[in-house]
Structure 1
Amino acid sequence: MKVDEITLYLRNHASDKFKQNVVKLGIPEEHTFGVPTPELRKLAKKLPKEKAFLIELWSTNYHECKILSVLALEPNECTEADINMLMDGIISWDLCDLFCKTILIKRPDFDQNITKWISSDQLFYKRAAFSLIASTSTHAALTIDEIKAYLELIANYSEDERLLVKKAASWALRELGKTSEASKELSVLTAKTMLKQASKAKQWVAKDALKELETLVAVSGRTRLISSKSAMGKQVNAISEK
């Protein structure tokens, strides 16, 4: 399979309607075909796993090719130079989060990226730090001390006014809160402390996170808390009220 064969396949499976959705993410129109993600996931399973080939595919600069590369790359084969190169090529939140959840979180050194990037001025490096915190809580059994450390990072570094950063910080705060009843209490406390601070960005993150944090409930058979406003959460409430 060659790169030009893949781009031809993408052109043949493109949709003008979906292309406009991609453009709304901030991707230049000339850098996207407009292929839905489910189709990309099917194609990614057929791709050669050679890193050089996947880096070449990434280098076409097409959004869909970058997604395919991230889906097919082996996390532990990526060097620090590879990661920096890939991060520098990210210009949308969806690719940033996919890279975090598919590649970075599966590497043993993922935590180093959180501490290194969370103070960055570069938009997607900073978003990636918060995205990794959010992903960490679903990929590992965190101790209370680890949760406290992540909550401290959120509280200290969520002063950024950029919406894509604020949304990621809120996401991280909410995901940590879903880990357990104890983590929920800690996350709510962190959010309420942030509400009292002068930073408008921190206040925004706190208010946004509390909308879900304060609705979280435990459900039998599930390891993580869920919102009482979700379909399953409503069922739990209905049963408890009987």
Structure 2
Amino acid sequence: MKIDEIVIHLQEQASEKYKNNVIKLGIPAENTIGVATTDLRKIARKLPKEPEFLLELWDTGYHECKILSVLALRPKDVTEEMVEKLMTEIVSWDLCDLFCKNILIKKDFDQYIQRWVSEESLYYKRAAFTLIASTSVHATISEEEIQKYLQLIQVQSNDERILVKKSVSWALRELGKTNETAKELSILTAEELLASENKAQKWIGKDALKELVTLVKVSGRQRLISDKSKMGRVAK
């Protein structure tokens, strides 16, 4: 399988609808082809796993090729040099989140959270909070770790950029779903943010509380879910 063959295959599956969706993310038209993520996942399963090949695919510059690279890369093959290269070339929230959830969360993720949470760069900062959100879903997390991440949220949540605010709210809500204790701690943090003089923190606190106060325990599920969901309404 050659890189140009993959690009041609993507172009054959392209649609203006999906291309326009990608352009709305801020990706230049010349850097997108227009293929749905569900189709990209199917293609990624057939790709060679060699990191050199996948980096070459990434370097085409096409958004879809970057997504394919992240989907096909094995976390164990991703070096620190590769992490830095890919992070500096991420220019959309969907690729940022995918890289975090597919690759970084399966590595020593806490080091990235601690290093990037105070970064000024938009996608480094979003990645830190995306990893916090993903940690509570994909890894075992202790009460001490939850409190540590809630403290980071309190200190680093005064960023007005919408992509950062949304990721902070997401992290806060996902931490709250861990268990009843985490829910109470997360609600307390959200209420403190809501009472802040900082507009970004007020927004985050208000947004997170909308879901946090609805969380309930459902038999057979480890994590809490919203009482607005079908299962949640039964448990309420």
TM-score tier by shorter-chain length is over 0.9
**Aligned pair 1:99/2:128, yes or no?**
no
User: 2:113, 2:7 → 1: CA distance?
Assistant: 34
**Aligned pair 1:149/2:148, yes or no?**
yes
* Paired letter, 1:121: E
User: 2:226, 2:203 → 1: CA distance?
Assistant: 20
Other structure's SS at 2:173 match = helix
Aligned to 1:176: 175
Please list, as runs of the form range in 1=range in 2, the aligned pairs for 1:45-56 lying within 5 A after superposition.
45-56=45-56
Other structure's SS at 2:119 match = coil
Please list, as runs of the form range in 1=range in 2, the aligned pairs for 1:23-34 lying within 5 A after superposition.
23-34=23-34
Please list, as runs of the form range in 1=range in 2, the aligned pairs for 1:154-233 lying within 5 A after superposition.
154-233=153-232
Aligned to 2:125: 126
User: 1:51, 1:99 → 2: CA distance?
Assistant: 15
Please list, as runs of the form range in 1=range in 2, the aligned pairs for 1:76-95 lying within 5 A after superposition.
76-95=76-95
Question: Share of identical aligned residues, percent?
Answer: 63
Q: Scaled by the length of structure 1, what TM-score is found?
A: 0.96
Structure 1 stretch displaced more, 34-43 or 195-204 = 195-204
User: 1:147, 1:202 → 2: CA distance?
Assistant: 19
Deviations 1:51-86 (A, max 9, x none): 000000000010000000000111121111110100
- Deviation, structure 1 residue 232: 1.6
After TM superposition, where is structure 1 displaced by more than 3 Å over at least 4 residues in a row?
Answer: none
The answer for unaligned runs of 5 or more in structure 1 is 238-242
User: 2:3, 2:230 → 1: CA distance?
Assistant: 43
The answer for unaligned runs of 5 or more in structure 2 is none
Structure 1 stretch displaced more, 140-149 or 180-189 = 140-149
User: 1:234, 1:63 → 2: CA distance?
Assistant: 40
Q: How many residues align?
A: 236
Aligned to 1:38: 38
Deviations 1:39-61 (A, max 9, x none): 00000000000000000000001
Aligned to 2:6: 6
- Deviation, structure 1 residue 236: 2.4
- Deviation, structure 1 residue 235: 2.6
Cα RMSD of the aligned pairs, angstroms, is 0.7
- Deviation, structure 1 residue 195: 1.4
User: 1:141, 1:180 → 2: CA distance?
Assistant: 12
